[in-house]
Amino acid sequence: MHKKTPTMQDVARLAEVSIATVSAVINKTAVVSAKRSERVRKAMEALDYHPDHIARSLKTGKTQTVGIILPDVTNPFYPEVITGAEEVAHANQYSVILCNTNEDPVQELQQLNILFGHRVDGVLIGCTDPAISLDGLTRRRFPIVCFDRIPHGFQGDSVTTDNFHGAYEATRHLISLGHEEIALLVGRTELSTHLARLEGHRKAMIESRLPILGEYSFSGGMEVKTGHEIGRHLLEARNRPSAIFCTNNKLLLGFVTAMRESGVHCPKTISVVGYDDFAWTENFYPRLTVVAQPARELGRRAMQQLMKRIKGDISTPTQITLEPELRVRDSTGPRR
Amino acid sequence: MHKKTPTMQDVARLAEVSIATVSAVINKTAVVSAKRSERVRKAMEALDYHPDHIARSLKTGKTQTVGIILPDVTNPFYPEVITGAEEVAHANQYSVILCNTNEDPVQELQQLNILFGHRVDGVLIGCTDPAISLDGLTRRRFPIVCFDRIPHGFQGDSVTTDNFHGAYEATRHLISLGHEEIALLVGRTELSTHLARLEGHRKAMIESRLPILGEYSFSGGMEVKTGHEIGRHLLEARNRPSAIFCTNNKLLLGFVTAMRESGVHCPKTISVVGYDDFAWTENFYPRLTVVAQPARELGRRAMQQLMKRIKGDISTPTQITLEPELRVRDSTGPRR
DNA sequence: TTTCCATCGCGTAACGTTTCGAAATCTGCG
DNA sequence: CGCAGATTTCGAAACGTTACGCGATGGAAA
């Protein structure tokens, strides 16, 4: 048999004070004499009392909880973002509800409604559906900060990395090594991130007056398998490129496997640049040259912005852009 | 200017019914005539009304929310677990609050208290502190299911993989290839998982009457750097082993790098078995032989068990053990 | 027409907090 | 000792729901 969890009522009774006094002690919202506040503290201790956030939230309208919606926890980029975001959330006494959409727009909408029902104080969203409309929500005074992928036409707060510039640098790097036939393996170009990378790549190519050949451009799914198929096809073609820039890490994985299967040497025969840096990229063989995004910092900044909004900041929306960094390792080398 | 979010009050007024009727319609908790319930539905639609989970929770004592506490989202094993757990939770209309402890026991306790304050209906925990005491909580009728790492002496529900057997199979595999000097690189042996792996390895060695040499056994941190250092030291030793079994993926990463730096060929000179299977292990060079844990299934099973408890199941605690699977690839070969 | 039941709708008391204004108590000074 | 003013404490009304039990309605049986 178990007694139910204690309430302020119980604490008040034991400490022989009023409920209001207990509340004052807990929230330091009024001065309470040393003697009484000590009695209250003792009573809380004795009963193992923990305030009920639910009841508090109902009264205050604040839940001290934020939501994070993202496409896929299984993509190691996101856990890094989460870590950064959680860090600042916890520092501000906020809890985080995590929602996975599994890259499914329908789930994304559901999750948003669930979070709304939970009356979270705000949400961070890495959009699954590039065409999602968040305006209705933001207008309801439901603070939202977008990170990584920004939906089309979104006017609110956002934090991204400079995908255009990252891709530009990656391609520049390949060009500087003497490569001219550079293939591009890009993810879903409906996504703001991948579109920007596509454009960054193109700018570098055009600047150097290099041809952007149709047979070197692939966009589509973002699965290992896709990368593998494209790799097989591309590597056996007569006019195979001498370098490839791949904007998605799963695609890259498949491509690298195809490369190994074809006996093509990297970087001697073909140079490879990937996107995103993880624990294993440096231990891959060959060590991968990649564009690294400051994922954790991105999470931090996004959450900081959200915290500001929650605290009532109503300045005009900010679009923060962080700089990615090209990390040159062994998978890229001079053209032969 | 914005109107505040609508309440049942508003819906009732617009539909010209009582609040109780609105509630009945929403929860299907009583029969309401077609005409009225249609009016209510229309009104909800018109006002864009969403029930307030907070208020509901206060009344019902159920939050439809569970917590997941784990040591490190950044270790790709956990995102898989999360995915499985979330899947089941959502199917049961539960939301998930995610808590990272960053491998810090102090944070773990804090998180537990926060979750308790949020009045979550239960929690899933992959323990950071092997000595944490969960008894007090479970006795408070706060359903807890442990997964992966089980704290010392824990008597409640748990879901793990058979670490002992996984390690046993891994070492058996090496022995069957003719290896005799097998080194073990094990993580923190205070953790139930790594201790079991250590013991599984030993059993296989002893069964085959092979010596367990002190200079081949390393336990300690679980960082890439540590694996790297041990690798350097071990590979340059006079009597270096012909095979190594590594129970932690970060350690393994460091070790593999050291191997490459020393010019030691795998699997010709040394065979390697790792733990946990990820997208990249198969694309590594060499393709890694590993013990794969059914991480997603583990998450599913753990959440299923938690759901049962939340729904009032009070049968005696179950300890579920899932079988890992040895995936033989290219990093292990016959001894030369 | 009256009586009886089934059906459906509603009023209202919680749930555990916060908060505000009023009541109680204390302080110091004339 | 009395009183004003400052300080500390308290009572009670919300917050948005759910759920219990009573009252109203209406059709069928008598």
Residue nearest to nucleotide C9 (CA to C1'): B21
Q: Are residues B186 and B217 in the same domain?
A: yes
Taking alpha carbons only, the member of B224, B77, B66, B252 closest to residue B148 is: B77
Is residue B9 exposed (0-12), middle (13-18) or buried (19+ Cβ within 10 Å)? exposed
| Spatial separation of the C-alpha atoms in residues B242 and B127, rounded to whole Å | 34
| Spatial separation of the C-alpha atoms in residues B185 and A98, rounded to whole Å | 34
Q: Which pLDDT does position A3 carry in this prediction?
A: 62
Taking alpha carbons only, the member of A85, A23, A6, A10 closest to residue A298 is: A85
Q: Are residues B142 and B238 in the same domain?
A: no
Query: Which three-class secondary structure state does DSSP give residue B234?
Result: helix
The pLDDT tens digits for A58-88 are 999 999 999 999 999 988 999 999 999 999 9
Tokens 């005539």, residue? B33
| Residue at B3 is within a domain | no
- Closest approach of A211 to chain B, Cα-based (Å): 31
Residue B156 CA to chain centroid, in angstroms?
A: 17
Strand partners, A98: A68
Taking alpha carbons only, the member of A127, A115, A146, A71 closest to residue A301 is: A146
Contacts with A48 (C-beta within 8 Å, 6 or more apart), sequence order: A6
Tokens 């070790």, residue? B255
Q: Are residues A300 and A289 in the same domain?
A: no
| Spatial separation of the C-alpha atoms in residues B125 and B305, rounded to whole Å | 13
- In tens digits, chain B (336 residues) has pLDDT values of 456 789 999 999 999 999 999 999 999 998 899 999 999 999 999 999 999 999 999 999 999 999 999 999 988 999 999 999 999 999 999 999 999 999 999 999 999 999 999 999 999 999 999 999 988 777 777 899 999 999 999 999 999 999 999 999 999 999 999 999 999 999 999 999 999 999 999 999 999 999 998 888 888 788 889 999 999 999 988 889 999 999 998 899 999 989 988 999 999 999 999 999 998 888 787 889 999 999 999 999 999 999 999 998 989 999 999 999 999 999 999 998
Task: Please report how the helices B77-91 and A77-91 are oriented relative to each other, as an axis angle in degrees rounded to 10.
Answer: 80
The pLDDT tens digits for A266-277 are 999 999 999 999
Task: Decide: A151 and A134 in contact? Cβ < 8 Å.
Answer: yes
B260-268, long-range: CB < 8 A, 24+ apart: B260/A285, B261/B232, B262/B231, B262/B232, B262/B235, B262/B236, B264/B235, B266/B331, B267/B330, B267/B331, B267/B332, B267/B333, B268/B333, B268/B336
The phi, psi pair for B258, rounded to 5°, reads -60, -40
Q: Which pLDDT does position B42 carry in this prediction?
A: 95
Q: Which pLDDT does position A71 carry in this prediction?
A: 94
Q: Please state whether B61 falls in left (phi above 0), alpha (psi between -120 and 50) or beta.
A: left
| Residue at A2 is within a domain | no
Rg of chain A on CA atoms, in Å:
26
Q: Which pLDDT does position A175 carry in this prediction?
A: 98
Q: Which pLDDT does position B1 carry in this prediction?
A: 43
Range of the domain at B188: 163-294
| Spatial separation of the C-alpha atoms in residues B274 and B281, rounded to whole Å | 9
Q: Are residues B261 and B138 in the same domain?
A: no
Query: Which three-class secondary structure state does DSSP give residue B274?
Result: strand
Q: Are residues A104 and A188 in the same domain?
A: no
Taking alpha carbons only, the member of B150, B106, B105 closest to residue B124 is: B150
What is the DSSP track for A64-131?
SEEEEEES-TTSTHHHHHHHHHHHHHHHTT-EEEEEE-TT-HHHHHHHHHHHHHTT-SEEEE--SSTT
CB-based contact, B133 to chain A, within 8 Å: no
Residue of chain A with shortest Cα separation from B89: A99
What is the DSSP track for B288-313?
PEEEE--HHHHHHHHHHHHHHHHTT-
Q: Are residues A28 and A69 in the same domain?
A: no
Q: Are residues B287 and B299 in the same domain?
A: no
User: At B235, which helix (H) or strand (E)?
Assistant: helix B224-236
Strand partners, B123: B67, B144
CB-based contact, A46 to chain B, within 8 Å: no
Q: Are residues B170 and B142 in the same domain?
A: no
Q: Are residues B80 and B38 in the same domain?
A: no
| Residue at A16 is within a domain | yes
Q: Which of A47, A138, A283 to mutate to test the interface with B (most CBs of B within 10 A)?
A: A283
Q: Which of residues 95-114 of A touch strand C (CB under 7 A)?
A: none
The pLDDT tens digits for A111-139 are 999 999 999 999 999 999 999 988 877 77
pLDDT at A220 over 80: no
Task: Decide: B187 and B222 in contact? Cβ < 8 Å.
Answer: yes
pLDDT at A190 over 80: yes
pLDDT band at A1 (very low <50, low <70, confident <90, very high): very low
Q: Are residues B180 and B278 in the same domain?
A: yes
Q: Do B119 and A52 touch (CB under 8 A)?
A: yes
Q: Do A98 and B86 touch (CB under 8 A)?
A: yes
The DSSP secondary-structure symbol of A187 reads -
| Residue at B1 is within a domain | no
pLDDT at A205 over 90: yes
Residue A90 CA to chain centroid, in angstroms?
A: 17
| Residue at B289 is within a domain | yes
Please compute the mean of the pLDDT values over residues A223-248 and round it to a whole number.
91
- Whole-angstrom CA distances from A137 to A108, A142, A158, A308, A314 are 14, 6, 15, 17, 15
| Residue at B327 is within a domain | no
CB-based contact, A257 to chain B, within 8 Å: yes
Q: Name the domain count of chain A.
A: 3
| Spatial separation of the C-alpha atoms in residues B142 and B281, rounded to whole Å | 39
Q: Please state whether A66 falls in left (phi above 0), alpha (psi between -120 and 50) or beta.
A: beta
Q: How far is the CA of B207 from the C1' of C16 (A)?
A: 61
Task: Decide: B97 and B68 in contact? Cβ < 8 Å.
Answer: yes
Q: CATH code at A114?
A: 3.40.50.2300
- Closest approach of B329 to chain A, Cα-based (Å): 14
Strand partners, B186: B219
Q: Are residues B129 and B140 in the same domain?
A: yes
Q: Are residues B182 and B269 in the same domain?
A: yes
Question: In this complex, which protein residues place their C-beta within 7 A of any atom belonging to strand D?
Answer: A 17-21, 24, 30-33, 35-36, 55, 58-59; B 4, 7-9, 19-20, 23, 26-27, 29-30, 49, 51-52, 55-56, 58-60
| Residue at A3 is within a domain | no
Task: Decide: B182 and B243 in contact? Cβ < 8 Å.
Answer: yes
Q: Which pLDDT does position A244 carry in this prediction?
A: 95
| Residue at B333 is within a domain | no
Please compute the mean of the pLDDT values over residues A242-266 and round it to a whole number.
92
Residue A97 has its nearest CB partner, among B2, B50, B95, at B95
Q: Do A100 and B113 touch (CB under 8 A)?
A: no
Taking alpha carbons only, the member of B99, B24, B23, B32 closest to residue B68 is: B99
A287 touches strand C (CB under 7 A): no
| Spatial separation of the C-alpha atoms in residues B272 and B260, rounded to whole Å | 13
Q: Do B97 and A100 touch (CB under 8 A)?
A: no
